[in-house]
């Protein structure tokens, strides 16, 4: 009978690791040779696939740290991965069925026992990729993870994506013929500041003409009323808002009593908010993620800066150790420490996202992280506080507030040095009553509407200045 493939050949008798034992059985002497047992192969506990336009991630969760080697083949493009110390099991075989036909980068995967204790994965690719293969130590509910991140050779460009959708054009940022958000001139052009503020609000929201200092002429019967033109020396441009649904992919965020996952709730709210904001004149919105996949904290900020966003709004759902905690909150960055113990705890918890979601530390741009952490300015924080106050006031109309004022803490995702940034905690998903509200489509719509109103209020008092934009 052939030796089982997982067993190594027995050591010779002279090996010091072996010992002899004399046993008696029916008067017969038996020589029993006992050798150390071979090491058990690692066990794959779960396999997960996270396809996205940015990249596709494949995760193998296992009970021990695995070593893997990989190489690329061309014509057709393939990624070959050899995993040492592993035996093929049904869980690993299930990876084949987890590859979806709409995966941007993987056509199919083949799995086999290449040789004893080595499993080979062959990814048949739809295009050439830049793979990153790395391991993650156990964290939260996860054990050891072996990660394959398949990035396109040409990195995704957020502006290119907006151009493809018709939401960005070459030379964008120059004055346009269609009023967007008015930028006030150096000197006031209207003697009535109230009328001027109403003109700015009307230009943003598309509402009827604001009150003027002189009576407006009555339109002729059958002809629609027209808005009075903006002053000739006003400059207008598109407004870009970055929405950041927290967590995603390997990082589910907080989980409610009935299993509701924060990452799903905040993505649904962000998509509703995107639709509301894009209904405003000359407003475009970029989502840091538009599906169930993980985006590192620094990458979220980098995406917003690449599209030269005027605002950054990160959306989350609170969780606390006590189910009684409830209410909505708005947070901004703090350079001097958290405004409360709860704010500090929440920021620490949210900043763990990179560890849970899984960042390749060997490739992580530490220089970028350092720049984002060190250059956050007082002006950015002051503008963020104004934005946060406007949004918090509107949310207070639909839900109880956890704190009546905007709070501050060291959230990594709010550290863009040049973009007013807020983090909205929509409600406590750990509170059963608020979990039910967060799952409700009507409440999600109310949240989106409230945040939109808050952003409009902020812009009405703080119109974005005209600035040079490059594509």
Tell me the pLDDT tens digit for each residue of 141-200. Answer: 999 999 999 999 987 777 777 777 776 665 454 333 333 444 343 333 334 433 443 444
Question: Whole-angstrom Cα distance, residue 449 to residue 438?
Answer: 14
Q: What's residue 467's pLDDT?
A: 54
The helix (run of H) or strand (run of E) holding residue 264 is helix 262-278
Q: How far apart are CA 347 and CA 17, in angstroms?
A: 53
Starting at the edge strand that comes first in sequence, how are the strands of the sheet with 78-84 ordered? 67-73, 78-84, 118-125, 106-115
pTM: 0.76
Rounded distance between C-alpha atoms, residue 171 and residue 163, angstroms: 12
In percent, how much of the chain has pLDDT > 70?
72
Q: What backbone phi and psi angles, to 5 degrees, belong to 353?
A: -55, -40
Neighbour tally for 323: CB within 10 Å: 16
CB atoms within 10 A of CB 177: 5
The CATH number of 44-152 is 2.60.40.3500
- Specify whether the CB–CB gap between 421 and 332 falls below 8 A: yes
Average pLDDT of the segment spanning 107-119? 94
**What pLDDT, on a 0 to 100 scale, did the predictor assign at position 366?**
52
What integer is the mean pLDDT of 240-268? 96
What average pLDDT is seen over the chain? Answer: 79
How confident is the model at residue 169, as a pLDDT?
60
CATH class of 158-166+237-461: alpha beta
Q: Does the structure show a pLDDT above 50 at 202?
A: no
Q: Which helix (H) or strand (E) holds 126?
A: none
| Residue 39: per-residue pLDDT | 54
Question: Is pLDDT of 55 > 90?
Answer: yes
The answer for residues whose C-beta is within 8 angstroms of residue 133's C-beta and 6 or more apart is: 68, 70, 81, 146, 147, 148, 149
CB hemisphere CA count around 114 (13 angstroms): 16
Is the model more confident about 333 or about 201?
Answer: 333
User: Taking residues 421-429, what's their average pLDDT?
Assistant: 96
Average pLDDT over residues 105-131: 96
Count other Cβ atoms within 10 Å, centred on residue 425. Answer: 25
Summarize pLDDT for 26-54 with one digit per residue, the tens: 444 444 444 443 456 789 999 999 999 99
Given a cut of 90, whether residue 96 has pLDDT beyond it is: yes
Strands 67-73, 239-245: pairing kind:
unpaired
Facing residues of 401 across strands? 328
pLDDT at 164: 72
Task: State the DSSP H helix or E strand holding residue 252, giving kind and residue range, or none if neither.
Answer: none
Domain boundaries, the chain: 44-152, 158-166+237-461
The torsion region of residue 276 among left (phi > 0), alpha (psi -120 to 50) and beta comes to alpha
Smallest Cα–Cα separation from 266: which of 196, 344, 319?
319
| Residue 460 confidence (pLDDT) above 90 | yes
Burial of 114 (0-12, 13-18, 19+ CB in 10 A): middle
């Amino acid at each position: 009978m052939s030796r089982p493939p997982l067993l190594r050949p027995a050591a010779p008798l002279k090996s010091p690791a072996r010992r002899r034992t004399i046993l008696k059985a029916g008067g017969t002497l038996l020589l029993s040779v006992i050798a150390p047992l071979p090491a058990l192969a690692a066990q794959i506990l779960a396999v997960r696939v996270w396809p996205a336009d940015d990249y596709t991630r494949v995760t193998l969760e296992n009970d021990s740290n695995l070593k893997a080697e990989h190489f690329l083949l061309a014509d057709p493009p393939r990624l070959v991965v050899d995993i040492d110390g592993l035996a093929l099991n049904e869980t690993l075989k299930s990876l084949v069925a987890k590859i979806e036909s709409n995966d941007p980068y993987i056509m199919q995967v083949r799995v086999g026992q290449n040789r004893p204790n080595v499993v080979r994965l062959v990814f048949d690719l739809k295009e050439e990729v830049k793979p990153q293969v790395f391991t993650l130590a156990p964290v939260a509910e996860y054990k050891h993870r072996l990660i394959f991140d398949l990035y396109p050779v040409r990195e995704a460009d957020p502006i290119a994506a907006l151009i493809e959708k018709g939401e960005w054009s070459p030379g964008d940022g120059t004055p346009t013929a269609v009023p967007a958000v008015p930028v006030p001139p150096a000197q006031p052009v209207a003697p009535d500041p109230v009328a001027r503020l109403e003109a700015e609000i009307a230009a943003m929201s598309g509402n009827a003409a604001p009150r003027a200092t002189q009576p407006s002429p009555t339109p002729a019967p059958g002809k629609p009323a027209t808005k009075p033109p903006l002053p000739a020396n006003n400059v207008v441009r598109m407004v870009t808002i970055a929405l950041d649904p927290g967590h995603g992919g390997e990082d589910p965020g907080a989980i409610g009593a009935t299993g509701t996952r924060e990452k799903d709730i905040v993505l649904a709210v962000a998509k509703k908010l995107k639709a509301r904001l894009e209904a405003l004149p000359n407003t475009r919105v970029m989502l840091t993620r538009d599906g169930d996949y993980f985006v590192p904290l620094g990458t979220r900020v980098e995406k917003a800066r690449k599209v030269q966003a005027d605002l950054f709004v990160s959306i989350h759902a609170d969780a606390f150790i006590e189910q009684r905690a409830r209410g909505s909150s708005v947070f901004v960055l703090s350079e001097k420490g958290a405004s409360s113990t709860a704010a500090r705890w929440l920021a620490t918890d949210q900043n763990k996202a990179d560890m849970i979601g899984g960042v390749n530390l060997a490739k992580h741009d530490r220089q970028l992280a350092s720049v984002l952490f060190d250059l956050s300015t007082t002006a950015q924080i002051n503008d963020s506080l104004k934005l946060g106050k406007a949004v918090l006031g509107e949310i207070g109309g639909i839900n109880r507030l956890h704190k009546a004022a905007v709070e501050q803490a060291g959230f990594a995702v709010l550290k863009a040095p040049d973009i007013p940034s807020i983090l909205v905690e929509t409600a406590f998903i750990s509170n059963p009553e608020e979990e039910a509200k967060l799952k409700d489509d009507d409440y999600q719509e109310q949240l989106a509407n409230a945040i939109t109103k808050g952003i409009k209020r902020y812009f009405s008092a703080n119109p974005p200045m005209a600035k040079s934009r490059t594509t």
